[in-house]
Structure 1
């Protein structure tokens, strides 16, 4: 490729900790440089709105889709102005997942692409998951194409976000799957104490393990399924939290028991796939209690990179998904999602010249 491509990746995860913005230059399929990043915390009102969105009526959800799109577009515009960005080929947006039920052939990420484009006046690529689900795939995880081409020096790449997911190369093919919930659970119980999250895992560390709870969680059917497989909030609410709430425990004990369960599932995966060296990113890396427990119970070398990659790797790779869609290249791997074929996914919205139209 002769000319570099400049783009912005937007990531809003299931843990609802905020919006990650990553401005990156791609020089080729395997070469990139992160140029600027910014993390934006959601207001309490927006966080609650997104958290409760799955309960809205169809009309209310349509309205939120557009309003959240306008919000994303406005944040892009502010980011571009703040860092005096002159070269920008497109914005790639993950959106906010509200529903994810690939077995029923649907997934929904809100943050309307046309609304984003109209606010920031840039080309926008979004809705990366729907096509894969229609093609029989899980629509997730989508990050492994970036792991394969940008971070292939590791045995595996592990992301600790709302959910943990892992990707690795096996027999010449990339495979990936969700392992277990992480921040979506830890934040849920921290919220009950009036906190956004359990900083460094300090609250969990003061609790006690309830072994019966850990063992019951470990028996959940999802953990015994083979890949491809993925998790959504509906599963957390119906399957996971239902079990935890059966136990009359204080928040500290619930947190410690959940962390113990998470470490067990992560370590099981390392052992099953003979992973010796893993790159770990995502907000869960900041939970020192979780990481220390994982280090103590695992023989796998845990590689924790610089802050930009810890916090913005997913935003970077959604920019990469947009980059490959922009060039008409495959960005969804059938070996990962279970779709009937590899494909290039994402809907492209060209900027609308609003002023000219209105005149």
Structure 2
């Protein structure tokens, strides 16, 4: 007999590298309907040392990756322990951790999220559910996006759920199937250029808004092969490093203009990605704070009602949903949808340590 309530910690580190999100969450299931409450939550920023390592790790050798995985698992365990101690948290059902994606090459049958080694359970002395993507790739799927099942279970009142993080991804119902895919890079590119100006990010899109569109660059970006592919499809940092940034760097224009043009590209690709251009869209992730990006999305989608939720849901939605994926794994229930990832079947993914 399954429980009706679960208390877990969700842990997420995204490709935008803004830090490790942690949130203690209470889940309740009654009459097959899930509800949640986000309790204590915080984002632990990366030190410069960790930032630099994670930025360049895509080019590491297998030996360097093995060491990085060991070190990051130790580091992540200590971050989780500090969070538990700070808020005096006890009686947890599990810690549900995504880890941090370093390599994502589903076309080669490979994805790597560091911080998911079995020793993490010993470090934090808790049951851990983690490593949610690998099994899906083994089953022929993209290993991403995994958030859509959480969108279906927790946010069904919205026509679309859009996350604006390192990359943007959308999920929605179509013919009683959940459809989801990565749309385009977002903060992986915008933060790269903000960093060149000595900033962590472009506050509210002020820098981007001060630039102007370079139509030639915009057209080249919009013509990239990825946007012509049918879903399921997903993006990794390799796409940004090998294709997007070299393309932008071909243009001798100001950083403001590069950021303005890329913001327009994100907004345009979002509008193209939505099959029905009306209804309600829930927007979460760091990009929801980028007023200029939201303004450009509204311009391209005049008949869509854009809803940005309370700060906790906005900032910790991915930690919330990976917490839910962990609970579903504990119940041995489906937590990955083949309609989204392209795997051979729906399945219950993740490791329990």
TM-score normalised to structure 2 length: 0.96
Say whether the 8 Å CA contact 2:58–2:238 is kept in structure 1. no
* SS, match of residue 329 in structure 1: coil
Say whether the 8 Å CA contact 1:74–1:116 is kept in structure 2. no
Of 187, 201, 209, 1:183 maps to 187
Residue in structure 1 matched with residue 352 of structure 2 by the alignment:
348
Residue in structure 2 matched with residue 316 of structure 1 by the alignment:
320
Say whether the 8 Å CA contact 2:96–2:323 is kept in structure 1. yes
C-alpha distance in structure 2 between counterparts of 1:34 and 1:234, whole Å: 33
Stretches of structure 1 that go unaligned for 5 or more consecutive residues are 350-359
Of 72, 77, 95, 1:91 maps to 95
Residue in structure 1 matched with residue 131 of structure 2 by the alignment:
127
Tell me the CA shift for residue 209 of structure 1.
0.8
The 5-angstrom pairing of residues 36-55 of structure 1 reads 36-55=40-59
* SS, match of residue 141 in structure 1: coil
Residue in structure 2 matched with residue 295 of structure 1 by the alignment:
298
* SS, match of residue 26 in structure 1: strand
Q: Do residues 279 (structure 1) and 282 (structure 2) align?
A: yes
Residue in structure 2 matched with residue 352 of structure 1 by the alignment:
none
Q: Do residues 65 (structure 1) and 66 (structure 2) align?
A: no
TM-score normalised to structure 1 length: 0.95
C-alpha distance in structure 2 between counterparts of 1:143 and 1:162, whole Å: 14
Q: Deviations over 1:313-344 (max 9, x none)?
A: 00000000101001100000011100000000
C-alpha distance in structure 1 between counterparts of 2:263 and 2:277, whole Å: 22
Residue in structure 2 matched with residue 195 of structure 1 by the alignment:
199
Say whether the 8 Å CA contact 2:166–2:186 is kept in structure 1. yes
Say whether the 8 Å CA contact 1:20–1:38 is kept in structure 2. yes
Q: Do residues 142 (structure 1) and 146 (structure 2) align?
A: yes
Tell me the CA shift for residue 125 of structure 1.
1.1
C-alpha distance in structure 1 between counterparts of 2:130 and 2:316, whole Å: 18
Tell me the CA shift for residue 274 of structure 1.
3.7
Residue in structure 1 matched with residue 15 of structure 2 by the alignment:
14
Say whether the 8 Å CA contact 2:271–2:277 is kept in structure 1. no
Residue in structure 1 matched with residue 25 of structure 2 by the alignment:
24
Stretches of structure 2 that go unaligned for 5 or more consecutive residues are none
* SS, match of residue 180 in structure 1: strand
Q: Deviations over 1:82-134 (max 9, x none)?
A: 11111211111111111111111110011133232222111111110011011
Q: Deviations over 1:124-162 (max 9, x none)?
A: 111100110110111000000000011000101000000
Q: Deviations over 1:203-233 (max 9, x none)?
A: 1111111011001100001111111000011
C-alpha distance in structure 2 between counterparts of 1:2 and 1:180, whole Å: 39
C-alpha distance in structure 1 between counterparts of 2:47 and 2:333, whole Å: 37
Query: Which sits farther off after the overlay, 145-154 or 31-40?
Result: 31-40
Tell me the CA shift for residue 3 of structure 1.
4.1
C-alpha distance in structure 1 between counterparts of 2:120 and 2:290, whole Å: 33
RMSD (Å) for aligned C-alpha atoms: 1.1
Hey, which bits of structure 1, 4+ residues long, moved more than 6 A? none
Q: Deviations over 1:229-260 (max 9, x none)?
A: 00011111122112111111111110000001
C-alpha distance in structure 1 between counterparts of 2:142 and 2:116, whole Å: 22
Aligned length: 348
Q: Deviations over 1:289-331 (max 9, x none)?
A: 1112222332211010000011000000000010100110000
